[in-house]
A and B are shown apart, each in its own frame.
Chain A
Amino acid sequence: MLKEENRAKIEEIKKKYPDAKAALLPALWVAQEQEGWISEEMMKEIGTFLGLPFGQVLGVVTFYTMFNSKPVGKYHIEVCTNVSCVLRGSDKILQKVEHVCGAKAGQTSADGKWTVNEAECMGACGGAPMLAIGEEYYENLTPEKAEELLRKLT
């Protein structure tokens, strides 16, 4: 369920666009910030709220990589493995992350602490190799630095 303040937030967002459908991506962001992911119930609720069919909402959620249609771990780790990062050793960063988190890319650890993903270019090529935890970027990594970073997270 969307919290009351978030429903109000979406009402405000709607005013920025000529129609309610355009508020769909921002509304999904509000929902994901609240819950960490977007459940089918949430998609239905947002659809009703914006006057859109469920299929429209589902279609959008499944198209965009960043919308999580299943729960993610407490920490969502994304390791960029695209060209500039792979040239500077991102394969070793990913291996280390998978080892420390006990989860392979695309998986969530059994304790629900970590979700690990291999990411496409995140626009941090000058600081390659890199990983992101949520919205925070960590650049110029070595496997050791990556491990140190993760071990600090409780």
Chain B
Amino acid sequence: MTPTEHYILPDIPDYHRLDVYEANGGYTALRKALGMKPEEVTDEVKKSNLRGRGGACFPTGLKWTFMPKGSDKPKYLAVNGDESEPGTFKDRQIFEYNPHQLLEGILIGCYAMGINAAYVYIRGEYGKWIRMMQTAVDAAYENGYVGNNILGSGFSTEIILHKGAGAYICGEESSLMNSIQGERGYPRVKPPFPAQRGLWGCPTTINNVETMTNVPLIINKGWEWYSKIGNTKHPGPILVGISGHVNKPGVFEVPTGVPLLELIHAYAGGIPGNKKIKAVIPGGSSTMILRAEQLEGVCMDVDSLKAAGSSVGTAGLIVMDEDTDLIPILSRIAKFYHHESCGQCTPCREGTGWLEKVLERFEHNQAKTEDIDLLLNIANNIEGNTICALGDAAAWPVQSMIRQFREEFEKHITPQLAD
């Protein structure tokens, strides 16, 4: 894959239309998969080393093998298009520009796991994009790609779009399932894991929208081709969303493993006014912040970002220039997690509110030196003590900001407030 080749968002006009998609080889991967044994399809995905694009980078093929082969209960696929992590705006591009490749990936996944119903959960704010997706789903049904006896293979599956209603927590997989079931979006305690007890107590796999859009490529071109794109431990094309202080913000499709500095300068056009970078949040608001000095040699892949002390997350890169006051930014992030905490677990429900309050003190120069330790104490008591990862997501930005930018907090301390 060269930097100009695009497989997830190809530069083909009207690619969202079924006829254009078909004319460019669309749904040939589905035909091919239907001619294979289901376990061969899973094996192909497993060997490709595709990792989930929703934030956790979990190996997709391995996840598929967790599903029981025989089951007296129905099995389900839930496709996560909740896309609510601040700084993330990639799946929206797929809904708009390449909906059929997503549907094709879903169908292949359903065939591989023996699933007869897939629910695609899309955040409620994307009403316009849900309509675009519905147009694609309807066209796919009309042409025999979805529904009964797909392309005469004897395999049947339904695809149903489910509209969210404004809750970040529903991007968490068990909360997403509760939301599909008509409940408040409360995460579930694990185990049992979704492959044992998911939607309506039945075996369920949850995969991200971008992840599923990669699947047809693997089937068509083979796992060997795919596994050599970008970083071999985390291969494939990846959609990187770049926002904040850059000249050309947007979503860029690149092979994994591209250096962050290249993404910022070569793709996103550098920093306005040729300013220096102060900090970067590499993968959506919950990933750990990095200082400009740390960015040299750091690439957009699992191992590189882990070594740098952060993570790929949703590959939503947020750039802050040298003049940015980081305290109001962190305060805004804390306010977000407080607002989005579902309220189930005390450390998160209470702790996120306390983080917000203490950070507001910093924002208004009403903080004392001890408040830095207080913030750390609260964050450390949330982390790891909640049912789902929202608690961690609220704690990490605070912990990493203090570790990396303690001086920013000190600037907002008013010494005479000390006891």
Chain A residues proximal to chain B, CB less than 8 Å: 16-19, 21-26, 28-29, 52, 56, 59-60, 63-67, 81-84, 86-88, 119-128, 132, 134-137
Which 3 A-B pairs rank lowest in CB-CB distance, beginning with the nearest?
A66-B166, A65-B166, A24-B182
Whether the pair B86, A82 counts as a contact (CB closer than 8 A) is yes
Nearest chain A CB to B125's CB is how many angstroms away?
Answer: 5
Given contacts A121-B84, A123-B89, contact A86 B181 (CB under 8 A): no
Within 8 A of A (CB), among B28-43: none
Within 8 A of A (CB), among B229-261: 241-245, 249-251
Given contacts A120-B84, A125-B89, A135-B127, contact A16 B249 (CB under 8 A): no
CA separation between A23 and B179, bound complex, in Å?
10
Main secondary structure of the interface of B (DSSP, over half): mixed
Within 8 A of A (CB), among B93-129: 123-128
Whether the pair B328, A86 counts as a contact (CB closer than 8 A) is yes
Whether the pair A123, B127 counts as a contact (CB closer than 8 A) is no
Nearest chain B CB to A2's CB is how many angstroms away?
Answer: 17
CA separation between A23 and B125, bound complex, in Å?
19
CA separation between A65 and B124, bound complex, in Å?
10
Whether the pair B336, A25 counts as a contact (CB closer than 8 A) is no
Chain B residues proximal to chain A, CB less than 8 Å: 74, 83-89, 91-92, 123-128, 158, 160, 162-168, 179-185, 200, 241-245, 249-251, 281, 285, 316, 318, 320, 324, 328-329, 332-333, 336, 339-340, 342
Contacts A21-B183, A60-B184, A81-B332 aside, 7 further interface pairs with beta carbons under 8 A come to A21-B181, A24-B182, A82-B86, A86-B332, A87-B324, A87-B329, A136-B128
Q: Which residue of B lies closest to A137 (CB)?
A: B128
Q: A82: which B residues are within 8 A, CB to CB? A: 86, 285, 332, 336
CA separation between A128 and B320, bound complex, in Å?
14
Whether the pair B339, A26 counts as a contact (CB closer than 8 A) is no
CA separation between A43 and B166, bound complex, in Å?
18
Whether the pair B167, A83 counts as a contact (CB closer than 8 A) is no
Nearest chain A CB to B115's CB is how many angstroms away?
Answer: 14
Q: B332: which A residues are within 8 A, CB to CB? A: 81-83, 86
Whether the pair B168, A120 counts as a contact (CB closer than 8 A) is yes
Q: B245: which A residues are within 8 A, CB to CB? A: 87-88
Whether the pair B180, A123 counts as a contact (CB closer than 8 A) is no
Given contacts A64-B185, A123-B123, A137-B128, contact A84 B168 (CB under 8 A): no
CA separation between A40 and B196, bound complex, in Å?
37
Q: A66: which B residues are within 8 A, CB to CB? A: 124-125, 164-166
Given contacts A26-B162, A82-B332, A82-B336, contact A125 B88 (CB under 8 A): yes
What are some 8 contacts across the A-B interface (CB < 8 A)? A25-B165, A56-B182, A84-B243, A120-B86, A120-B339, A121-B285, A125-B89, A135-B125
Whether the pair A84, B318 counts as a contact (CB closer than 8 A) is yes
Q: A56: which B residues are within 8 A, CB to CB? A: 182
User: How many inter-chain contacts with C-beta < 8 Å in the A-B complex?
Assistant: 141
**Of the residues B92, B200, B342, contact of A123 by C-beta under 8 Å:** B92
CA separation between A1 and B412, bound complex, in Å?
54
Whether the pair B316, A125 counts as a contact (CB closer than 8 A) is yes
Given contacts A63-B184, A83-B329, contact A25 B163 (CB under 8 A): yes
CA separation between A18 and B89, bound complex, in Å?
32
Q: A29: which B residues are within 8 A, CB to CB? A: 124, 163, 165
Whether the pair A22, B243 counts as a contact (CB closer than 8 A) is no
CA separation between A152 and B285, bound complex, in Å?
35
CA separation between A127 and B316, bound complex, in Å?
13
Whether the pair B185, A63 counts as a contact (CB closer than 8 A) is yes
Given contacts A16-B160, A64-B167, A123-B126, contact A87 B320 (CB under 8 A): yes
Whether the pair A22, B165 counts as a contact (CB closer than 8 A) is no
Nearest chain A CB to B333's CB is how many angstroms away?
Answer: 6
Q: B328: which A residues are within 8 A, CB to CB? A: 86
**Of the residues A17, A83, A119, contact of B87 by C-beta under 8 Å:** A83
Q: Which residue of B lies closest to A32 (CB)?
A: B165
- Most chain A C-beta atoms within 10 Å of own C-beta, residue among B165, B179, B184: B165
**Of the residues A16, A25, A123, A125, contact of B182 by C-beta under 8 Å:** A25
- Most chain B C-beta atoms within 10 Å of own C-beta, residue among A25, A26, A88, A137: A25
CA separation between A52 and B245, bound complex, in Å?
49
Q: B340: which A residues are within 8 A, CB to CB? A: 120
**Of the residues B125, B241, B342, contact of A132 by C-beta under 8 Å:** B125
Q: A25: which B residues are within 8 A, CB to CB? A: 162-165, 179, 182
Whether the pair A84, B184 counts as a contact (CB closer than 8 A) is no
Q: A16: which B residues are within 8 A, CB to CB? A: 158, 160
Nearest chain A CB to B387's CB is how many angstroms away?
Answer: 16
Q: Which residue of A lies closest to B248 (CB)?
A: A126
Nearest chain A CB to B252's CB is how many angstroms away?
Answer: 10
